[in-house]
Amino acid sequence: MIKTDILIIGAGPTGLFTVFEAGLLKMKCHLIDALAQPGGQCAEIYPKKPIYDIPGFPEILAGELVDNLMNQCKQFEPGFTLGERADKFKKLDDGTFIVSTNKGTKHHAKIIAIAGGLGSFEPRKPILENLQRYEDNGVNYIIKDPQKFKNKSVVIAGGGDSALDWTIYLADICKSVTLVHRRNEFRGALDSVDKVIELKNKNKVNVITPAEIIKLHGKEKLEKLTIKINNDLEKEISTDFFIPLFGLSPKLGPLSEWGLEIEKNAIKVDTFDYQTNIPGIFAIGDINTYKGKLKLILCGFHEATLMCQSAYKILNPGKNLILKYTTVSGVQGFDGTKKEAEKAVVKSINS
């Protein structure tokens, strides 16, 4: 039996940052994740994808963000159960929880923080004849290593942030990049749309709208595809890779059977502290839903911070919690080591 103060289900960015925030309040954390390594989608699906909206980082690769978060929280010595899925839970008479994984590992915790991102997921695939034949032979649904596409011809399909971001990123790597979207309007960030249009005007990328891919061609691997433009004209183009980026189809899996209040495949929470309808169980990050919810990593960080404040009060009833800024108090790990942040700040001001 693994015992901890807070059991975090999901070791993505939000789960990892929860370890840090909990550690500041002297609460011990253990994380469960079905993946074999921490980092969630950022590590497993797009470690080389640049992220632009993390405060203090104009641009940071997803994998690098995970590395930084791991370094940030390691002083609080989190435990990990990796390669196992949180399966069943039981609430004991004293209000604590037992959570078992699909492999039988049991965890005992006073607080559960569900930070499972989108849950279990699989890419949304286009409906195309012989699609499966070309999977991993020219058709890719995720981009782990952009260098795989260096000096190659690539066709990307989609109109969201992933399609736009990868079009921008691969423009400097590939021999040619073609972005195909079924509408003239894109649903991604406006800044990304502007960058793609600018690249198009400079003849660095091709943008074909409104259009869709209707056929794939090739003997042993993908060689060409047919694009239907404006519901009329059909055009064949040669390509080395076809990357449909239509998002992920999320599934809550066993969590849907825990008695949590679910809305549109997400867990409803109270925005005071992101607690669910079951006292002691919180949901933070992309897996939760509430009015005005934004599925952004930085929002998950905010939710984790408020959640830890409430978790502290549950674990320490009657004890006052005084907020201390790390610039003054420093950061002290469970081993007693302390970063002298105050001295660093003073030194910076004096210099």
Residue 54 contacts residue 300 (beta carbons within 8 Å)? no
Residues 102 and 27 in one domain: yes
Q: What per-residue confidence (pLDDT) applies to 142?
A: 78
DSSP state of 255: G
**pLDDT tens, residue by residue, 117-170:** 766 556 789 999 999 999 989 999 878 788 999 999 999 999 988 899 899 999
Task: State the pLDDT at residue 143.
Answer: 82
Q: What is the DSSP string of 269-324?
A: -BTTTTB-SSTTEEE-GGGEE-TT----HHHHHHHHHHHHHHHHHHHSTT------
Which of 244, 269, 300 is where one domain is finished?
244
Q: Has residue 84 been placed in a domain?
A: yes
Structural domain contains residue 331: no
Is the same domain home to 221 and 257?
A: no
Please report, for residues 5, 131, 227, 243, 245, the alpha-carbon distance to residue 223 in angstroms, rounded to integers and kept in the order given. Answer: 54, 13, 14, 13, 19
Residue 330 lies in a domain: no
Spell out the alpha helix ranges (H) of 116-249.
131-134, 161-170, 190-201
Same domain, 150 and 259: no
User: Which stretch of DSSP H or E encloses residue 250?
Assistant: strand 248-251
Q: In the predicted model, is pLDDT for residue 345 greater than 60?
A: no
Residue 45 resides in a domain: yes
Report residue 147 as tokens. Answer: 């260098």
Count of domains forming the chain: 2
Per the model's pLDDT, the better-predicted residue between 343 and 233 turns out to be 233
Please check whether residues 206 and 132 belong to one and the same domain: yes
Domain extent for 163: 125-244
Instruction: With 0.75 as the threshold, say if the pTM is over it.
Output: no
Q: What is the CA radius of gyration of the chain?
A: 23
Asked if residues 167 and 179 have their Cβ atoms less than 8 Å apart, the reply is yes
Q: Residue 129: CA atoms inside 13 Å, Cβ hemisphere, count? A: 6
Integer angstrom CA distances of residue 24 from 64, 174, 218: 23, 45, 57
Same domain, 160 and 70: no
Query: What pLDDT does residue 338 have?
Result: 61
Q: Which two tokens mark 261?
A: 């209040």
pLDDT tens track for 60-103: 998 999 999 999 999 999 999 988 889 999 999 999 999 999 88
In a shared domain, residues 149 and 113: no
Compute the mean pLDDT over every residue in the chain, rounded to the nearest whole number.
89
Q: What is the pLDDT of residue 339?
A: 55
Asked whether residue 291 falls in the same domain as residue 192, the answer is: no
H-helix or E-strand containing 243? strand 241-244
Provide DSSP, 199-235.
HHHTTSSEEE-SEEEEEEE-SSS--EEEEEETTTEEE
pLDDT of residue 249: 67
Give the CATH number for residue 168.
3.50.50.60
Q: How far apart are CA 310 and CA 316, in angstroms?
A: 10
Grouping H, G, I as helix, E, B as strand and the rest as coil, residue 73 is: helix
What is the DSSP track for 9-22?
E--SHHHHHHHHHH
CA dist 258 to 48, 242, 268, 269, Å?
A: 35, 39, 13, 14
Number of H helices, E strands in the chain: 9, 23
Which of residues 197, 226, 244 is at a domain's end?
Answer: 244
Check whether residue 218 and residue 292 sit in a common domain: no
- Residue 99 domain flag: yes
